[in-house]
Structure 1
């Protein structure tokens, strides 16, 4: 189990929560079958993208079902549901209605498996599940819609900026031709109109392609096969040497296809931020694999990130005031790395549990990073790349 607030193992969880965790794989197996059968655009989605951030969401539900746990519902103190909506916008051709449908199927499968296994759920435990799913639906759809709005705004900005110059040349040349149609310079004006008209046509083609592709900007990646655990240990060792960070790594070895340089820079940024904003209590890096996805989290204790700032810390050069320097470009870069690998980054922060950033990406990201890396036959059918 990988909880985003780094509560380890099953310590402190109720017996019902533990039983719920034990049925997780059965829930996801049944859910995936129903989603592929009932949601039109889900049939061709590879397993790591379909499962997405839901394993973490599921574990959070189990935690929230334990009385007096700091997590009142699965979306408490975390933006994991928003990360799900973000990925659905970037990685699929889903509609908002289909996101709602898959959460409804998740709810129905969860209660059905619990009943089949004879797990009694109290009224309050059932209410926790329902409140968690309802909240996740709102946050996922809101982020999904926001991503599409942001994309349209970027397209509009590109239209107004990039097309301004060729359009101006076309208008000016046409005006000159109107005033002096028989001028010796008429062929020059006509050539300018033709050349810049072609430029505008090419720009429109690119914009239409971008609109139909419907994904955010990605970093250029050089993919190699390596063990993310070894990379995490190197980054932690360097942080301990230079910052006396108290950085430790735990979890499991996960071998996959990622861009080592980008992942290293992303992890270095997260560890540096954990040192900068933590209380000196050490930094915990945890690695786990589930459903062909690699989850890497960096946790520090200390002051929680205020709720009003959480939606903005991934903006470039955002400054939040106070004595600290602000987040700068580090976290936006980390977000770009995660998204360019076909994954997401999520934030979990509260006074009770500290702050955790979670990178959640496919183990084999080759099918998800664009035309430069051809999809691997059967890549979605194996837990480890060969």
Structure 2
């Protein structure tokens, strides 16, 4: 188990235009962020990491898409990055679909404006590839944005509908008792109970109506602490190595931030376990990186790629994916996504025959502003 600054992307295979694109990344995002804050309602109130979201991941994919030597035709091919972005926008912002579309347009415009200031001259084919990638990404983000709202509405509506049965049952029993008794005092107590539960039911119905237009999902309580994610990643790798699960390579940056250590540990353990279960014999790589205030925690393995039709579905609860003869991914990846989302982030997968499979958790380095229900803990629980 070693540490190095290695990253997933093999920059030696990138075209000149792709290297130029990467060299002006910070300028592009600064320009884009300023434009979004100026034009899109609600963006001005968002903290930087929440606004940037996982677009840096899409940006790197874009560099690969304009490199003939890399088998990625568009920035979204083999990746759920755009869908993860749309999900975060639905859950964590007040953006509507028009705002989501507009931010992608501004993203494309920022690349063009900054390229002019850097005086780079790219052929029309490169610009066509960039535009096509951004258009596809915006469509995928919008589709997942709508799907996230629908999942939220269904989940909350189902829960509230189920809970409504309790006060209805009490009211029904109370009404039957009033009809049967000649005891005025007992009838009065039953009527008072009916009124109390009717008020409760009315409140629940208001919650149900709110759920039909809810913009954010409720998240479970988290125990937050300050720790270095690279230490946690190394500890998890060591834990699996002791069980003859290796070899492992832990690479990347020392990233100190505020997260729920038990939850992040369980999520990482799920990803490592899946990598060992579904990957071919070989190294499993855990990478920690910080990009513009966000932690990128990824687990990579080689092996048969996840089919495109199943990439997004594998995050679903009780979805059981059959891969390499191994039945799995019933609830583990659903938990991984839940942990990422509860920290104000998202989970994504990038899978192809050439590059292998990489699951990535993208969350703010300091998740405290994005967590609704949290308990602070002075000591980490790594």
Using structure 1 for the length normalisation, give the TM-score: 0.90
Q: Distance in 2 between matches of 1:225 and 1:141?
A: 34
Hey, what does 2:364 align to over in structure 1?
362
Deviations 1:98-122 (CA, angstroms, capped at 9, x unpaired)? 0000000111111111122111111
Q: Distance in 1 between matches of 2:148 and 2:326?
A: 29
Hey, what does 1:60 align to over in structure 2?
61
1:343 to 339, 342, 345: 345
Q: Distance in 1 between matches of 2:170 and 2:226?
A: 50
Hey, what does 1:378 align to over in structure 2?
none
Residue 245 of structure 2 contacts residue 276 of structure 2 at CA under 8 Å; is this kept in 1? no
Q: Distance in 1 between matches of 2:372 and 2:52?
A: 20
CA RMSD of the aligned region, Å? 2.2
Hey, what does 1:138 align to over in structure 2?
139
Residue 296 of structure 2 contacts residue 363 of structure 2 at CA under 8 Å; is this kept in 1? yes
Matches for 1:7-156 after TM superposition, within 5 Å? 7-156=8-157
Q: Distance in 2 between matches of 1:132 and 1:75?
A: 7
Residue 226 of structure 2 contacts residue 258 of structure 2 at CA under 8 Å; is this kept in 1? yes
Residue 247 of structure 2 contacts residue 284 of structure 2 at CA under 8 Å; is this kept in 1? yes
Q: Distance in 1 between matches of 2:125 and 2:375?
A: 48
Shift of 1:198: 2.7
Matches for 1:169-208 after TM superposition, within 5 Å? 169-171=170-172, 173-174=174-175, 177=178, 185-204=186-205, 206-207=207-208
Gaps of 5+ in 1: 375-386
Q: Distance in 1 between matches of 2:147 and 2:83?
A: 10
Hey, what does 2:301 align to over in structure 1?
300
Q: Distance in 2 between matches of 1:64 and 1:372?
A: 40
Match status 1:258 vs 2:259: yes
Hey, what does 1:377 align to over in structure 2?
none
Q: Distance in 2 between matches of 1:220 and 1:40?
A: 29
Compared CA separation, residues 299 and 6, structure 1 to 2 (3 A): farther
Q: Distance in 1 between matches of 2:212 and 2:375?
A: 21
SS at 2:13 equivalent: coil
SS at 2:262 equivalent: helix
SS at 2:295 equivalent: strand
Q: Distance in 1 between matches of 2:313 and 2:256?
A: 32
Residue 367 of structure 1 contacts residue 373 of structure 1 at CA under 8 Å; is this kept in 2? no
Deviations 1:248-298 (CA, angstroms, capped at 9, x unpaired)? 011111111111111111111111110000001211111111110010111
Using structure 2 for the length normalisation, give the TM-score: 0.91
Hey, what does 1:268 align to over in structure 2?
269
Hey, what does 1:214 align to over in structure 2?
215
Deviations 1:283-323 (CA, angstroms, capped at 9, x unpaired)? 11111111100101110000011122222211222223473
Deviations 1:199-223 (CA, angstroms, capped at 9, x unpaired)? 2134345546666763224232111
Compared CA separation, residues 113 and 373, structure 1 to 2 (3 A): farther
Compared CA separation, residues 89 and 327, structure 1 to 2 (3 A): same
Q: Distance in 1 between matches of 2:77 and 2:276?
A: 24
Residue 288 of structure 2 contacts residue 298 of structure 2 at CA under 8 Å; is this kept in 1? yes
Shift of 1:373: 6.0
Compared CA separation, residues 190 and 128, structure 1 to 2 (3 A): same
Deviations 1:93-144 (CA, angstroms, capped at 9, x unpaired)? 1100100000001111111111221111112111111111111111100000
SS at 1:355 equivalent: strand
Hey, what does 1:333 align to over in structure 2?
335
Compared CA separation, residues 364 and 208, structure 1 to 2 (3 A): farther
Deviations 1:308-342 (CA, angstroms, capped at 9, x unpaired)? 22222112222234731221221111111111111
Compared CA separation, residues 309 and 185, structure 1 to 2 (3 A): same
Q: Distance in 2 between matches of 1:311 and 1:13?
A: 27
Count of residue pairs brought into register by the alignment: 370
Hey, what does 2:380 align to over in structure 1?
none
SS at 1:294 equivalent: strand
Residue 278 of structure 1 contacts residue 301 of structure 1 at CA under 8 Å; is this kept in 2? yes
